[in-house]
Amino acid sequence: MLKARVLTALLLLPLALLILFVLPTDAFGVAVGAVLLLGAWEWVRLSGLVSRFIRWPLLLVFSLMLWGAYNLPAVYVPMVLGIGSLFWLAAFGMVWKYPVLKDRIGGRRMKLGFGLMVLIPAYVALLFLRRHDAHLLLISILVAIIWAADIGAFFVGRRYGVKKLAPSVSPGKSWAGLVGGVFVALGIGVIGAWIGEPKESLFSISAWGWLLVICAVTVLFSVLGDLFESLIKREHGVKDSSSLLPGHGGVMDRIDSLTAAAPVFALLVYLTGWPSP
């Protein structure tokens, strides 16, 4: 299992870096759309729809929605990001009250709707960031703080994690791990911004302040994305979203944090004007 996990990671890392930082905008949109389409395939399965006669038409509809999202007029992007962020606030309620409000999660159709709210705003957010003038800096910080928070939460939680964060959803996560992950992510975010700071136009004090706010809020939502997918998997009675990635589970297991973090991060960038508020 460990060997498969390492080999898969060695293949995925350069591919992810290629997609995020090298590909031109159109190719970026196609590549990210393909990844999210795989995520949609897994989400349909997690929703309880296993019939291929239903799954393929649903994936076709989702593909058309991705195409629509790619061509979404810029004026509507903030609205989609706002809707996505509001969904994650609702998801917080579902995670926090699970399994007390288990019946309100709904059946297959409701969970399919959740999948759209998870994946489409994330796609719009990533496209918004890629089309931004400071796209290299923004995407670097987004990805770096998510990874840093995950690593920080693991080590801090392993050492100090006594009180569990959401034991009915994900028994492994702790409050100490959450706090540790946030602080590690803030440090990485500051370092990343310092490295990417344009020498001809240094960030203002308010820009540094907004960076800390954006990073902290984004990390909290990234943890929520992980917890919400764990909730959906628990509802379906599975450990992984699929076995597509040996040693890592499925695509959704790799991007669950990103799907929640990206819309919130992009919305905050839009509202604050960062990196130059």
Task: Look at residues 248, 223, 235 and name the one whose alpha carbon lies nearest to residue 112.
Answer: 235
228 within some domain: yes
213 within some domain: yes
277 within some domain: no
205 within some domain: yes
Can you give the residue range of the structural domain that contains 256? 2-272
Residue 170 DSSP code = E
156 within some domain: yes
Tokens coding 19 = 């997609």
List the pLDDT tens digit at each of the 277 positions of the chain: 556 677 887 888 899 999 999 999 999 999 999 999 999 999 998 888 767 778 888 999 999 999 999 999 999 999 999 999 999 999 999 998 887 766 667 677 888 899 999 999 999 999 999 999 999 999 999 999 999 999 999 999 998 988 999 888 988 899 999 999 999 999 999 999 999 988 877 889 999 999 999 999 999 999 999 999 999 998 888 888 888 888 778 999 999 999 999 999 999 999 999 988 5
Q: Report how far residue 150's alpha carbon sits from residue 45's, in angstroms, rounded to the nearest whole number.
A: 26
Q: What is the pTM of this model?
A: 0.94
51 within some domain: yes
Domain count along the chain:
1
**Residue listed under structure tokens 């579902």:** 94
